[in-house]
Structure 1
């Protein structure tokens, strides 16, 4: 598929009510920009097949823990999906087609796989945007459990999440209720694209950074930090007019931002 058409398809998929966004399709559409020959239906069928195999293994009484254990056994024991500990910052980890083919990924991409499979067996789950480590849980909060898909579907309770947070950050961070709140499909996609953004930045692949920021802005058109970052990137690439537009818009939204004076200096140089 053509590069621009891939992003256009992504936009069409997300340009609807959040609950109607198909996470798998949206993830595969932005992957088509990187993999032009990617066939969306092939990968949706692969997800369907995995779900059908799990459906056939489910116990008659579908208690949440039994359903989760059945999913875990098939995905992690039989199919050998796992977190990519060795090459965590490989951009392939953020593309659902690569996750399905290579059976490895990072927390959020593996979580999208799990969410899509759970949806197909009528066991709805939601994403949990805990800082530094994405989790999922059953849609009904009273279950009181969280799933760490990156770590073989490990079942966590709230105190385990607090401990996981302590392991991630050198300075103590108190587990706040908002850290365990469900996130929207748009937020999940934005987090996946943000991972790619920083990977591409570290690799100095600036054209890909721009494309990914554009994708984030399709999800959240007035996100000030993304507009600022795109403007700064345009500045580095000597695309002055585009830099001015984004940076001026950023200042209009956040005139008292901590970096506002620095942005004004850059704009003065451009003008």
Structure 2
């Protein structure tokens, strides 16, 4: 798969409704968009194994136990404790080969398998740490993909929230901490990680690619196009930056476009 083919897949995913969002295919396209022409078989093999094993387990186990045991024990998916900032931890192809990665990358396999097995599961954009929400007969529970899918008790969620800087009033509200997000938002979270890392390391080409993936996945959100514009400007690609700003302004309406000093500043630099 080429980078252009990956962009076509991401564009199609961006046009899909949340209920029909192709999480696994979009995640593969994101990885190829970063580094094209790689073999994606490890991803498909791992995803298929997860689906088959989880379907077997849900027949005799609770949804949360089945998902945790399948992904954490049977398939040995876990967080990379020693090299947390390794770029491989955010790349779905590398994650499939190594069985290690960041929570948001591991979550792709959790959520894909859960869908196939008929489980009601979703990502949780918890502060500083992505988790999986699974609906059970006793209510929703949280699993931590970074820790072999371990069950996270409500008291621990509160402690984590306090350490992340949330106020006690918010940290005690389980319904807020466990708010589910769509598969689209789950994958965008991973691209946000890549964007922030690239900006910190002044890799503006990588930052542009990750921002563009977000923009393609959620084309109606102007914020992603603004990040594309910023990354292009830092590379000196002023025409491309202006084009991305135009996309953002088209979403926000004429009034905001007129208020934007960035748009006029770039236009003047091009003249």
Using the TM superposition, give the Cα deviation of residue 193 of structure 1 relative to its aligned residue in structure 2, in angstroms: 1.0
Q: Any residues of structure 2 matched to 1:10-89 within 5 Å, and which?
A: 10-40=10-40, 43-56=43-56, 58=57, 60-64=59-63, 68-89=64-85
Give the whole-Å Cα distance in 1 for the aligned partners of 2:36 and 2:263: 40
Q: Any residues of structure 2 matched to 1:98-137 within 5 Å, and which?
A: 98-137=94-133
Give the whole-Å Cα distance in 2 for the aligned partners of 1:226 and 1:60: 42
Residues 239-248 or 205-214, more deviating: 239-248
1:197 to 179, 195, 201: 195
Residues 163 and 95 of structure 1: is their aligned pair in 2 closer, same or farther, counting only changes over 3 Å? Answer: same
Using the TM superposition, give the Cα deviation of residue 97 of structure 1 relative to its aligned residue in structure 2, in angstroms: 1.6
Give the whole-Å Cα distance in 2 for the aligned partners of 1:261 and 1:32: 34
Residues 224 and 60 of structure 1: is their aligned pair in 2 closer, same or farther, counting only changes over 3 Å? Answer: closer
What residue number does 2:146 align with?
150
Give the whole-Å Cα distance in 1 for the aligned partners of 2:264 and 2:141: 50
Residues 250 and 36 of structure 1: is their aligned pair in 2 closer, same or farther, counting only changes over 3 Å? Answer: closer
Q: CA-atom RMSD, angstroms?
A: 3.1
2:87 to 88, 91, 97: 91
Q: Any residues of structure 2 matched to 1:190-229 within 5 Å, and which?
A: 190-229=188-227
Tell me how many residue pairs correspond in the alignment: 265
Q: Deviations over 1:134-170 (max 9, x none)?
A: 1111246952311111122221243332211122339
Give the whole-Å Cα distance in 1 for the aligned partners of 2:213 and 2:39: 20
Give the whole-Å Cα distance in 2 for the aligned partners of 1:242 and 1:60: 53
In the alignment, structure 2 segments of 5+ residues that lack a partner are: none
**2:143 is paired with a residue of what secondary structure?**
strand
In the alignment, structure 1 segments of 5+ residues that lack a partner are: none
Residues 170-179 or 215-224, more deviating: 170-179
Give the whole-Å Cα distance in 2 for the aligned partners of 1:123 and 1:181: 17
What residue number does 1:242 align with?
240
> Residue 28 of structure 1 contacts residue 97 of structure 1 at CA under 8 Å; is this kept in 2?
yes
| TM-score for both structures, normalised by structure 1 | 0.82
> Residue 10 of structure 2 contacts residue 217 of structure 2 at CA under 8 Å; is this kept in 1?
no
| TM-score for both structures, normalised by structure 2 | 0.82
Give the whole-Å Cα distance in 2 for the aligned partners of 1:105 and 1:119: 21
Residues 256 and 146 of structure 1: is their aligned pair in 2 closer, same or farther, counting only changes over 3 Å? Answer: same
Give the whole-Å Cα distance in 1 for the aligned partners of 2:188 and 2:55: 30
